Amino acid sequence: MLRLRNQFINKRLSCFAGFRRGTSSVRLHVAAVADIKTEDTKFELSTVAPHGDASVRGTSVVLDHAASPNKATVTRSIVFVTSEVAPWSKTGGLGDVCSSLPLALAARGHRVMVVSPRYKAYPEVIDTGVRKRVGTAEVGFFHQNIKGVDFVFVDHPSYIGRTGGPYADEYGPYQDNQFRFSLLAQAGLEAPLLVDCEGKGVYGQDIVFVANDWHTSLLPVYLAANFRPFGVYQKARSLLAIHNLCHQGVFPPSTFDELNLKGWWYGAVEFQYPPHQRKGSYAEEGRSVNFMKAGITTCDRVITVSPGYAEEIQTYLGGWGMEGMLTSRSPVLNGITNGIDTEVWDPQTDKNLPVNFGTEDFVEGKRACKMKLQEELGLPVNGDIPLLAFIGRLDPQKGADILLEAAPQLMQQHDVQLVCLGSGNKDLEDGMRWLESSFRSRSRAWVGFNEPFSHKLTAAADILIMPSRFEPCGLNQLYAMRYGTVPVAHKTGGLKDTVIDFDPWVKKGTGWTYTSCDAGGLLYALGHAITTYKHHRSDFVDLQKRGMSRDASWDSAAQQYEQLFEWALIDPPYCK
Ligand SMILES: Nc1ncnc2c1ncn2[C@@H]1O[C@H](COP(=O)(O)OP(=O)(O)O[C@H]2O[C@H](CO)[C@@H](O)[C@H](O)[C@H]2O)[C@@H](O)[C@H]1O
C-alpha cells in the first residue's frame, strides 16, 4: 500500500517538471533537486559565522565597523513591499519575516514601512483616504502603526474578498496574479511619496526598498522605468530578498501588456528557458515573462535568507534556471540568516502553551506540554515516549513524502509517537491521513493551517523532523530550538547553517543533520536522535539547553541588513 502511494507521489513529483499554464511558480527540475549535493561545491571562506552557527562562508555579510547591538549608527527610511505580512496574512515564512524583521529594524531607530495587500477588512487598520491611479487601476491605502512600524495596506478589488488564500483557491492560482502583484510593486513605490503616516509626514524619496520574492520583484523595474527617468527616487535603492527561488512568477510573454511598462523594458522581464527546461504551450520557444528574473537583473542588491542558500542558488541544482544570472550578480549577492520574533515565540510567555517554561525548568515544562497534547489528541499519555513532530507546508520542498516513506520503518523500529501538522498538496494531505490511520495508536496528522497548534506542538515535541529537499532558511527549526525541541534536518540551505551536528565526544551541537536526501538518510539521523533521547538522556538535555540558549533574535541579522543598505547606497543605482 505504502509502496504504491509512494510510487504515486513520485510520479506526481515528476509531473511538476515543466510549466503549468497560469501557475505562478516554476517547477523545473524537482527530480534533480532531490539529489542536491551541496557539499560538492567549494567556496571561499570568510571569517563570519552568523549567529555563531555552522556557516562560515563568502556569502556572509562582514560588518565594516564595530557592531552596534542596540541602536543603528545611521538611521534610514526603509520600505518593505511584500505579498504577506503576519499576523494579517501568512501562508508561510515570508509573512513571519516581513513583520518581525521590520519590527527589529524599527527598534534600532529606522523609520520602517511595510506595504502589503488588504486581503480582508482588517480591524484597527484605518483608511488614510489617499487614492492613486496606477496604470489602469486605482488603489487606496490603509494604515496601522505597531511598535513604530507603519503597516500600509493597498486596497484594490482584486485583493479583497477572494474565497481562497492570497494566491490561489481550490481551483488553482488566480488567473490575474500577474496584474495583482505588479500592481502591488507599483503601489509600494507610491506609498512613501503619498501616505502621511499619523501626521509624521510622508517618507519621501530617500528610501531603501526591500522587495520580497517574485510577487514584488518587479519593483526595481518600475523604479528604473517609471520613476527615475522623471527625477524621482534618484537617491533610492532597491534590494530584492529571495525567500524561495522555486517560485518565480512565470507567465506567458503576452502578460507584458498588462505590466504598465514601455515596450523597451520587455527584455528586462523576459526569460528564455533552455530547451531541456521547456514545456507547455506558451513556452514552446522557452519564452516567458519571469518576475523573479526581472528583479534579479535590475535590483541594486540581492539578499537571500541564509549564506548556505546564497551559495546553492548560484548552482545548477539550486538555481531553478536563475543560476547564471545570480552568479553574474554574485558581487552584490549575500545571505543573511533569518532571525525570529522572540516575543511571539517565547516558551516563557507563549499563551498557546498549557505550561510555560524556560531554560531552567524546560524538562518538566516540556513533559507537561507533551502529556497535555497527548491527552488532547487521544494518544496514550506517556511522558517518557519520544514525541516526534513535523510542521510545514505540504509541498515537495518540505519532504513530507520522504517522511511518509520512512514512517513504517520508523514506527516499526522505534517506540515513538509522531504528530504532523500541514496543509497544501492534496496527495500529501491524503498521505498524512494515511499515516494517522495506519499507525492510529501512535500517530496523529492535523491537516490544515493552525497557528496555535503549531506553537503547542513545537513545545510538546522532543524532536522536530525537517526533511526539506531544499530550505532557503527555515523557521521551524529556529522555533523548535528555542522551545527545547531538537531538530533532525536534511543538511541543506539554512538548515545546514543553523543546525549544528551533535558531537558526542566534545558534547557540542544543537541537533542532527543528514546528507542523503531520502528515507534512509532521515531514518539514520532519527535513529541517532531517538537513541540519544532514550539512552543518553543527559546528552539530550544538554542538546536542548544549547538550542534554547542560541541567539535566535533579529539583532545580528538586522545589523547585517543595515550593512547591505549602506553598501547599496555607496554604489550608484544598478539600473538607471
Ligand atoms: N499547517 C500549518 N499550520 C500552522 N503554521 C504553519 C503551517 N505550515 C507552516 N506553518 C508556519 O509557516 C511558517 C513556515 O516557515 P518556513 O520558514 O518553514 O517556510 P516557507 O517555506 O513558507 O518560507 C520560505 O521563506 C522563509 C522565510 O524567509 C524561509 O525560512 C523558508 O526557508 C522559505 O522556504 C512557520 O512559521 C510555520 O510554523
Q: How far apart are the first and last CA of the chain?
A: 59
- Rounded to whole angstroms, the Cα distance separating 150 from 128 reads 12
Provide the sign of the torsion angle of the four alpha carbons 254, 259, 264, 269, taken in this order: negative
Any atom of ligand 1 within 6 Å of the Cβ of 475: yes
pLDDT at res. 17: 32
pLDDT at res. 58: 61
Cα–Cα distances (Å) from 235 to 125, 542, 570, 572, in that order, read: 30, 50, 10, 9
C-beta neighbour count of 352 within 10 angstroms:
15
pLDDT at res. 63: 86
pLDDT at res. 379: 98
- Ligand 1 centroid, distance to 129 Cα (angstroms): 34
Q: What is the CATH number of domain 77-161+174-339+556-570?
A: 3.40.50.2000
pLDDT at res. 575: 87
Residues carrying CATH 3.40.50.2000, the chain: 77-161+174-339+556-570, 361-551
Which superfamily does 361-551 belong to? Glycogen Phosphorylase B; (3.40.50.2000)
Any atom of ligand 1 within 6 Å of the Cβ of 352: no
Any atom of ligand 1 within 6 Å of the Cβ of 244: yes
pLDDT at res. 322: 95
C-alpha cell at 11: 510520479
Instruction: Please say whether the beta carbons of 305 and 472 come within 8 A.
Output: yes
The residue whose CA is least distant from atom 15 of ligand 1 is: 93
User: Could you give the count of Cα atoms lying within 13 Å of 541 in the half-sphere of its Cβ?
Assistant: 13
C-beta neighbour count of 542 within 10 angstroms:
15
- Ligand 1 centroid, distance to 387 Cα (angstroms): 21
pLDDT at res. 521: 98
According to DSSP, the β-strands at 77-81 and 207-212 are parallel
- Ligand 1 centroid, distance to 507 Cα (angstroms): 30
C-alpha cell at 238: 532597491
The residue whose CA is least distant from atom 22 of ligand 1 is: 92
* Cβ burial 258-284 (10 Å sphere, 16+ → b, else e): bbbbeeebeebbebbbeeebbebebbe
The residue whose CA is least distant from atom 8 of ligand 1 is: 392
- Ligand 1 centroid, distance to 339 Cα (angstroms): 13
392, β-bridge pairs: 422
Any atom of ligand 1 within 6 Å of the Cβ of 99: no
Instruction: Please say whether the beta carbons of 552 and 439 come within 8 A.
Output: no
SS3 state at 270: strand
Any atom of ligand 1 within 6 Å of the Cβ of 498: no
According to DSSP, the β-strands at 168-169 and 172-173 are antiparallel
Q: Identify the DSSP state of 226.
A: I
Residue given cell 503601489 in the structure block: 187
Instruction: Please say whether the beta carbons of 546 and 480 come within 8 A.
Output: no
Any atom of ligand 1 within 6 Å of the Cβ of 422: yes
According to DSSP, the β-strands at 137-146 and 149-155 are antiparallel
pLDDT at res. 2: 39
Torsion of CA 338, 344, 350, 356, to 10 degrees: 40
C-alpha cell at 206: 530617500
In this predicted complex, what is the ipTM?
A: 0.98
Closest ligand 1 atom to residue 423 Cα is 1
Any atom of ligand 1 within 6 Å of the Cβ of 208: no
Any atom of ligand 1 within 6 Å of the Cβ of 476: yes
Write out the chain's pLDDT in tens, 576 residues: 334 333 433 333 333 333 322 333 333 333 333 333 333 333 333 333 334 454 445 688 888 877 777 899 999 999 999 999 999 999 999 999 999 999 999 999 999 999 999 999 999 999 999 999 999 999 999 999 999 999 999 999 999 989 899 999 989 999 999 999 999 999 999 999 999 988 889 999 999 999 999 999 999 999 999 999 999 999 999 999 999 999 999 999 999 999 999 999 999 999 988 877 776 655 567 889 999 999 999 999 999 999 999 999 999 999 999 999 999 999 999 999 999 999 999 999 999 999 999 999 999 999 999 999 999 999 999 999 999 999 999 999 999 999 999 999 999 999 999 999 999 999 999 999 999 999 999 999 999 999 999 999 999 999 999 999 999 999 999 999 999 999 999 999 999 999 999 999 998 999 999 999 999 999 999 999 999 999 999 999 999 999 999 999 999 999 999 999 999 999 999 987
Any atom of ligand 1 within 6 Å of the Cβ of 547: no
H helix or E strand, kind and range, residue 388:
strand 387-394
Among candidate residues 456, 466, 439, 572, the one with its CA nearest the CA of residue 521: 466
